[in-house]
Amino acid sequence: MSRFEDEASDVSLSLLQQKAIDSDSGAIVVLAGAGSGKTEVVARRVQRLLTTRDGVGRVLALSYTNKAAEELGERLRLRAGAESERVTTETIHGFAHSLLRQHSTRIGLPIEPEILTRDEDRVELLNQWLSSQGLGIAEDPLERLRKIDINRARAIDTAEVEDWRRALASLPALDYPALLDAALEILALKSVRRQLVRTYTHVVVDEAQNLTPAQYCLLTAMVGSPGEGPSVMLVGDDKQSIISFAGADPDLINRFARSYDAEIIELTENFRSAAIISSLARLIAGELGQDQSPAEPHAAPGSIEFISGADESDEARKISDWVEGLLQLGLPKDAVADGESVKMRAEDIAILGRSASALREIAKALEERDIAFSTSSDAEDWLEGLAGKVVLELIAFNAAARHVSPQWQLARLIDQDPETLKSREQIAATIRSHDNSLVAALAELVDETDMRRFIESLGALVRDSDASTSELASWNADVEEIEKAWRDYNANVDRDSRSWTDFRLFCSRRQRGSATQGVQLLTVHKSQGREFRAVAVVGMNEGQIPDFRAKSDGERASELRTFYVAVTRARRVLLLTRALRRTTRYGQRVTTPSPYLSFAERVTGMGKS
């Protein structure tokens, strides 16, 4: 049974929630703090639209992360049953991508245009482009691309942005921000917009505080002028606006409310978090300038605890003890409501860090104790070994032999000139002579164009290899991962729809770390929109939370909002942890506790230790 199934029946909606669900306004904005049931309103409203009104076409429900979109889809399936087939749940980029997949040729792009998702590929293109223009190579290409990205997110055209657009067009390829440009161009085609407006009669956007101006342009292009297109509901919380560094502008919600003369509904209660955690959230909200009237106390008292470790591995050890305790003994009885179960599954626990690196020691500690966990891994982390990564690029090559990215990535992996990897024959010859015998063995696969045979032959490929034990172990683990992905893919996708491109896309979702088994190790940013019965926030030191790079008042406020997001993921138990000493590149350093601990102190009366 899913978590949402557990809860579907026992939620009695507040009057304000009901108002938002029942509203027939063409434009609605729901503004509210964390855990106030915004996503619940989205789910219920969509359910109402699908099941009780005539003439409703499809509903487009947009969310910020893939995970949040998946969870919304799950809530809808549960609530609207078969009717939920008429809902498309997507991220904005996912929606833009689907438009592109249908209409790319109409804006002069090839079918299945290449999308450069890796920074390394974008750097390669930038340098190739600059040298083709006689401009040498960029001094700090990544920094230059970041500036270009943020300007595009803010819909600001600069000479560098224009130049980068030309570079992409020279391949031709897109990157994520260019995907939005392309979708906007597609939406300018009257026939496409007409078709979309006929298809989608309602659009809802969850986590709208994360909209960037570029995304907002796309959204308004799709829904048209006020009163013209589908009904639109935006749902958001400016206290959870933590990605302004990437161009998000929470004020766009207000702009929408003004331009579309939206009905504004504010929800006030925190349904998610137990009393003490809600008090902490209210205190932080107050500091962020949003005084909130005291809400009804939550039926569960909840708990906030604090632990410190001598150093980061000791901090990680203590967190593992806490996890083990929760799994074996359940939640403390005095933290839950009367009659509420204390039983815990690993998936009910999240460990949140300001950055992915803050979670590394924890991953090691959990691994040592054999406690299952998932991380929001970086794209390249899915497979462990070199040979496994080469297999993934061979799959990408089969998906689109004319794309440059598999060729460039393969070249980086096996340290060869990309020019020697242009055709199947070249690839086979180059990898056959590679020093690593596992990689060399893959030469046999290069000509295999049948997907099933390709995957099924992986297991038998390496018999007598001189590879080291650890290389072999990585290879076996990678083959298992790929085979598992293949099985899941087959279970999810009809035979007729299967293709290399589609399977590659399926794999890349795994690469982005969408695994959900076990304790969830997440950056705070990835945890947005999610909730867990117990949450540990690690690295509560000055310099970690808040991040040492945040200097200006605006940046410090954004760090406090990050802390707000982190603590409000917790439903019953919140643990705040820190290490008294940390290893930095200057050696071991004594740490200073995060100033944010004082909020927790005020609600619990505890010391900082």
Ligand X SMILES: Nc1ncnc2c1ncn2[C@@H]1O[C@H](COP(=O)(O)OP(=O)(O)OP(=O)(O)O)[C@@H](O)[C@H]1O
Residue 69: what residue type? A
Binding positions for ATP are 32-39
Question: Whose CA is closest to 436, among 461, 414, 411?
Answer: 414
Please, which of residues 550-579 interact with ligand X by CB under 6 A? 568
Q: How far apart are CA 137 and CA 124, in angstroms?
A: 10
- Among positions 7, 85, 160, 368, the unique one binding ligand X when judged by CB under 6 A: 7
35 touches ligand X by CB under 6 A: yes
Of the two residues 74 and 481, which places its CB atom closer to ligand X in the complex?
74
Site map for ligand X, 183-222, x if CB under 6 A? ----------------------------------------
Binding positions are 32-39
Give the nearest distance from C-beta 411 to ligand X in angstroms: 42
Q: Work out the angle at residue 300's Cα, subtended by the Cα atoms of residues 78 and 335, and round it to the nearest 5 degrees.
A: 110
242 touches ligand X by CB under 6 A: no
Question: Hunting for tokens 């230790």 — which residue is that?
Answer: 609
Give the nearest distance from C-beta 37 to ligand X in angstroms: 3
Binding segment (CB under 6 A) for ligand X, from list 34-42, 46-54, 176-184, 401-409: 34-42
Give the nearest distance from C-beta 78 to ligand X in angstroms: 11
Contact 209, 64 (CB under 8 A): no
Kind and range of the H or E run holding 59: strand 58-63
Please, which of residues 478-507 interact with ligand X by CB under 6 A? none
How big is the chain, counted in residues? Answer: 609
- Among positions 13, 169, 307, 371, the unique one binding ligand X when judged by CB under 6 A: 13
**Burial level of 159, CB count in 10 A (0-12/13-18/19+)?**
exposed
Of the two residues 13 and 307, which places its CB atom closer to ligand X in the complex?
13
Give the nearest distance from C-beta 275 to ligand X in angstroms: 14
Binding segment (CB under 6 A) for ligand X, from list 8-16, 295-303, 426-434, 463-471: 8-16
How far, CA to CA in Å, does 6 sit from each of 90, 481, 533? 24, 31, 13
322 touches ligand X by CB under 6 A: no
299 touches ligand X by CB under 6 A: no
Count of residues touching ligand X (by CB under 6 A): 21
Of the two residues 152 and 272, which places its CB atom closer to ligand X in the complex?
272
- Among positions 121, 237, 315, 559, the unique one binding ligand X when judged by CB under 6 A: 237
Question: Whose CA is closest to 277, among 557, 541, 565, 593?
Answer: 565
Give the nearest distance from C-beta 139 to ligand X in angstroms: 41
Q: 179 is written with which tokens?
A: 């995907």
The 3-state DSSP composition of the chain as helix, strand, coil percent (nearest 5) reads: 55, 15, 30
Site map for ligand X, 521-540, x if CB under 6 A? --------x-x---------
Site map for ligand X, 346-385, x if CB under 6 A? ----------------------------------------
Binding segment (CB under 6 A) for ligand X, from list 30-38, 123-131, 303-311, 357-365: 30-38
Q: 44 is written with which tokens?
A: 């219920």
| C-alpha neighbours within 13 Å on the C-beta side of residue 30 | 30
Give the nearest distance from C-beta 532 to ligand X in angstroms: 10
Binding segment (CB under 6 A) for ligand X, from list 31-39, 157-165, 362-370, 375-383: 31-39
Binding segment (CB under 6 A) for ligand X, from list 36-44, 55-63, 123-131, 507-515: 36-44
- Using CA atoms of 575, 579, 585, 589 in order, give the dihedral in degrees to the nearest 10: 150
Give the nearest distance from C-beta 572 to ligand X in angstroms: 11
Of the two residues 289 and 605, which places its CB atom closer to ligand X in the complex?
289
- Using CA atoms of 161, 167, 168, 169 in order, give the dihedral in degrees to the nearest 10: 110
Task: Output phi, psi for 390, to 5 deg.
Answer: -65, -40
272 touches ligand X by CB under 6 A: yes
Q: How far apart are CA 327 and CA 333, in angstroms?
A: 14
Of the two residues 74 and 119, which places its CB atom closer to ligand X in the complex?
74
Question: Whose CA is closest to 213, among 171, 266, 165, 177?
Answer: 177
Task: State how beta strands 87-91 and 581-584 pair.
Answer: unpaired
Of the two residues 72 and 455, which places its CB atom closer to ligand X in the complex?
72
Strands of the 373-375 sheet, one edge to the other = 303-309, 570-579, 532-537, 349-353, 519-523, 373-375
Of the two residues 79 and 272, which places its CB atom closer to ligand X in the complex?
272
Q: Work out the angle at residue 392's Cα, subtended by the Cα atoms of residues 391 and 393, and round it to the nearest 5 degrees.
A: 90
403 touches ligand X by CB under 6 A: no
Q: Given the rule CB under 6 A, which residues bind ligand X? A: 7, 11-14, 17, 32, 34-40, 237, 240, 271-272, 529, 531, 568
